[in-house]
Chains A and B, each alone.
Chain A
Amino acid sequence: MNNYKYTYMAVLIFVAVSLASAVAAGLGFVSGNVAAVFGSFAFTAVLIIGFYHCRTCSAIDFIIKNLNNGEPTRIRKKNIRPLTPLGDAITEFAANSVQKAGDVEEQLTDLNLQIQLLQRQKQNAEAIIYSIRDTVIVTDAFDRLIMASASAQELFGFDIADAIGKPADDIIPDREFLRLIQNARRSNLFGVKHEVAFTTDGQERTYDCLISCVRDEKDITCGIVAVLHDITREKEISNAKNDFVGHVSHELKTPLASINAYAEMLIDGEADSQEKINEFCEVIQTQAQRLNRLIEDILNISRIESGLTKISRQPTSLALLMTDSLKMIESYASEKNITVNAQSPIIFDQVNIDRDMMSQVVVNLLSNAVKYTPRDGSITITIDVNDSDGLVHANISDTGVGIPPDDLEHVFDKFYRVEQNKKYAKGTGLGLNLVKQIVEKVHGGRVFVTSIPGEGSTFGFELPLALSRAAETV
């Protein structure tokens, strides 16, 4: 390496001497020929030095460009030979830089991979939270929204994309719920349960709300997770169950109270004649029968609702079924001098039904008509077949007391009784519910009622024609 340095210095001295000779010749100190020879040498030397400088500069330029681009650089030493020490230093620097750049690049690649992994994990977590059916709200240590489920945006009416990062105050309108979140964060509580209610679209819904603090590795609270589970339906079922139990106990206890009281009266000798004894015994018997009917009705409804009823369908004329059922209430109707007009079937009205169950439907409707129709009234039974929709319609109309409009939509509910009509007849409020269950749940039909208070009511049902059903299966 040093040889080149000396050569380079020798060349420079030679060029200087040549230039000095040329200048001396110019001034007349040496001959022109000598000056020309030295001048030529000097020119050639300048060309050589210029060439090497240019090549060295290009090499350095090449190195720098490659370094800028982050590309590995290898240069031939002969390209930088004239500036060997500088060239060596540059080459070493370039090599180190390339090595460092390679390390940095590797670290960057690792970091990028980690970032991608973290982003994917965050996206997965967001997707999981978003997909949870319950309402989920995740906030940070400053009560800003981090994540939320789809149901949360529906419940609180925000757009998740816009709401992320915003203070919970701005996106959750319910102050009470906000207070619960803030209290839980401040008090470092984990898994605190509350029952909260929100009104959306005018409808109140009840939620089981579980709020937990999120703690970091230093056990410092860094946010809140609130999970709201909609228990509206469960509450409705629970209330309905309580109502049902209340109704059932009331209905069961009423005849039982009579049986118990009259039996005790007999034991205590309170019946002072055989006539009284017989009367008490009759009450006990009729109340026991009433109790049995009630239990049967409850069991029938329960069996139908749970799908445990054995159904034996067979093609039956609905009009003939009506006529047979009518015989069961004829004496009751004649006691009140009520006229029953039944239409004679001259048309095909076969339906695939469980005869016993549909007979109960017709008897329940007919006995209700008699119960709520004053003396000397009338009941009309009509059956229509509609071939176009494949349905047979049965109507039982009476000239009874009628039903107020507000009660109409509830008359098929379990244990529902029209308050102002209770004085006309006893009942459990289960008969019409059983009618609805048998027609709609067992036979796929539909029940309906129309009424004008003081003028009468029409209860009816429609069932698919057997022919139509047969055609469907072909």
Chain B
Amino acid sequence: MPEKKVLVADDEIHIVQVVAIKLKNNGFDVITAESGTDALALALSEKPDILVTDFQMPGMTGLELIENLRKNPDTADMPVVMLTARGFAIEEEQREQLKISVCLSKPFSPRELLQHVQDALAEVASV
């Protein structure tokens, strides 16, 4: 089974690194970005299987990034796991509208994150 590609976007380099290590150690191919704009460019060019993004990023927020992805047919259905240090930032309605699989509050558990990534990909595969 080919490696699933995960795009990790966060302006906190330590968070990007720890998520990347966790995912790589568990068989994922990981590409990273430190801003929303970089993440959008990578998503459109690399077409990852799933996006793990921070909510608050310079240039383009996580929500703006997802909105842009949803406009493109290639990335319209890409599953997304969002990380946020503001637990109340996303309404349930908005989460559903933007098809965000899960929203994890910081501080988060890399173990749980891995589980959510695997679940989101499994859900896509089962559709």
Judge: A and B partners, yes or no: yes
Interface residues, chain A, with chain B CB atoms under 8 Å away:
246, 249-251, 253-254, 256-262, 264-265, 268, 270, 272, 283, 287, 419-420, 422-423
Q: Is the CB of B58 within 8 A of A422?
A: yes
Q: Which residue of A lies closest to B24 (CB)?
A: A270
Which of A256, A270, A422 meets B107, CB within 8 Å? A256
7 contacts between A and B (CB under 8 A): A254-B12, A257-B15, A260-B108, A265-B110, A268-B110, A419-B59, A422-B11
Which of B22, B56, B106 meets A257, CB within 8 Å? B106
Q: How many angstroms between the C-alpha atoms of A272 and B26 in the bound complex?
A: 13
Name the distance in Å between B23's Cβ and chain A's nearest Cβ. Answer: 10
Q: How many angstroms between the C-alpha atoms of A420 and B15 in the bound complex?
A: 21
> Contacts A250-B56, A270-B22 known; A258 to B14 CB distance under 8 Å?
yes
Which of B22, B35, B106 meets A265, CB within 8 Å? B22
Which of B14, B21, B109 meets A287, CB within 8 Å? B14
Contact string, B60-93, partner A, CB cutoff 8 A, digits 1/0? 0000000000000000000000010111000000
Name the distance in Å between B108's Cβ and chain A's nearest Cβ. Answer: 6
Q: Is the CB of A264 within 8 A of B110?
A: yes
Contact residues, B1-42 vs A (CB, 8 A)? 11-12, 14-15, 17-19, 21-22, 25, 34-35
Q: Is the CB of B86 within 8 A of A262?
A: no
Count B-side interface residues using an 8 Å CB cutoff: 26
Closest 8 CB pairs of A and B: A422-B58, A260-B107, A257-B106, A253-B85, A257-B107, A250-B85, A258-B14, A261-B18
Q: Which residue of A lies closest to B21 (CB)?
A: A270
Q: How many angstroms between the C-alpha atoms of A78 and B34 in the bound complex?
A: 126
Residues of A within 8 A of B17 (CB): 283
Name the distance in Å between B87's Cβ and chain A's nearest Cβ. Answer: 8
Q: How many angstroms between the C-alpha atoms of A272 and B86 in the bound complex?
A: 32
Q: How many angstroms between the C-alpha atoms of A419 and B64 in the bound complex?
A: 15
Name the distance in Å between A18's Cβ and chain B's nearest Cβ. Answer: 127
Name the distance in Å between A474's Cβ and chain B's nearest Cβ. Answer: 53
Q: How many angstroms between the C-alpha atoms of A253 and B34 in the bound complex?
A: 18
Q: A249-B85, A260-B108 are in contact. List 5 more A-B contacts (CB 8 A).
A: A261-B18, A261-B109, A283-B14, A423-B11, A423-B34
Q: Which of A251, A270, A272 gathers most chain B CB within 10 Å?
A: A270
Q: Is the CB of A264 within 8 A of B111?
A: yes
Q: Which residue of A lies closest to B14 (CB)?
A: A258
Q: How many angstroms between the C-alpha atoms of A254 and B54 in the bound complex?
A: 11
Q: Which residue of B lies closest to A242 (CB)?
A: B88
Residues of B within 8 A of A420 (CB): 58-59
Residues of B within 8 A of A268 (CB): 110-111
Q: How many angstroms between the C-alpha atoms of A250 and B88 in the bound complex?
A: 11
Q: Is the CB of B35 within 8 A of A261?
A: no
Q: Is the CB of B106 within 8 A of A256?
A: yes
Name the distance in Å between B38's Cβ and chain A's nearest Cβ. Answer: 10
Name the distance in Å between B62's Cβ and chain A's nearest Cβ. Answer: 13
Name the distance in Å between A164's Cβ and chain B's nearest Cβ. Answer: 49
Q: How many angstroms between the C-alpha atoms of A256 and B108 in the bound complex?
A: 9
Q: Is the CB of A259 within 8 A of B58?
A: no
Q: How many angstroms between the C-alpha atoms of A258 and B14 in the bound complex?
A: 6
Q: How many angstroms between the C-alpha atoms of A251 and B35 in the bound complex?
A: 17
Q: Is the CB of B107 within 8 A of A253?
A: yes
Q: How many angstroms between the C-alpha atoms of A260 and B106 in the bound complex?
A: 9
Q: Which residue of B lies closest to A260 (CB)?
A: B107
Q: Which residue of A lies closest to B108 (CB)?
A: A257
Q: Is the CB of A250 within 8 A of B18?
A: no
Q: How many angstroms between the C-alpha atoms of A257 and B109 in the bound complex?
A: 8
Name the distance in Å between A403's Cβ and chain B's nearest Cβ. Answer: 15
Q: Which residue of A lies closest to B38 (CB)?
A: A423
Which of A258, A270, A283, A419 meets B25, CB within 8 Å? A270
Q: Is the CB of B18 within 8 A of A262?
A: yes
> Contacts A257-B108, A258-B14, A261-B110 known; A419 to B58 CB distance under 8 Å?
yes
Q: How many angstroms between the C-alpha atoms of A268 and B19 in the bound complex?
A: 13
Q: How many angstroms between the C-alpha atoms of A264 and B111 in the bound complex?
A: 8
Residues of B within 8 A of A265 (CB): 18, 21-22, 110
Q: How many angstroms between the C-alpha atoms of A423 and B33 in the bound complex?
A: 12
Q: How many angstroms between the C-alpha atoms of A422 and B105 in the bound complex?
A: 22
Residues of A within 8 A of B111 (CB): 264, 268
Q: Is the CB of A249 within 8 A of B110?
A: no
Q: Is the CB of A253 within 8 A of B106?
A: yes
Q: How many angstroms between the C-alpha atoms of A264 and B17 in the bound complex?
A: 14
Q: Which of A253, A261, A270, A419 gathers most chain B CB within 10 Å?
A: A261
Q: How many angstroms between the C-alpha atoms of A258 and B83 in the bound complex?
A: 12
Q: How many angstroms between the C-alpha atoms of A258 and B105 in the bound complex?
A: 13
Residues of B within 8 A of A261 (CB): 14-15, 18-19, 107-110
Q: Which residue of B lies closest to A422 (CB)?
A: B58
Q: Is the CB of A250 within 8 A of B86?
A: yes
Q: Is the CB of B58 within 8 A of A260?
A: no
Q: Which residue of B lies closest to A268 (CB)?
A: B111
Residues of B within 8 A of A264 (CB): 109-111
Q: How many angstroms between the C-alpha atoms of A270 and B22 in the bound complex?
A: 7
Q: Is the CB of B85 within 8 A of A257?
A: yes
Residues of A within 8 A of B85 (CB): 249-251, 253-254, 257
Q: Is the CB of B86 within 8 A of A246?
A: yes
Q: How many angstroms between the C-alpha atoms of A196 and B62 in the bound complex?
A: 35
Name the distance in Å between A252's Cβ and chain B's nearest Cβ. Answer: 8
Q: How many angstroms between the C-alpha atoms of A401 and B43 in the bound complex?
A: 29
Contact residues, B81-127 vs A (CB, 8 A)? 83, 85-87, 105-111
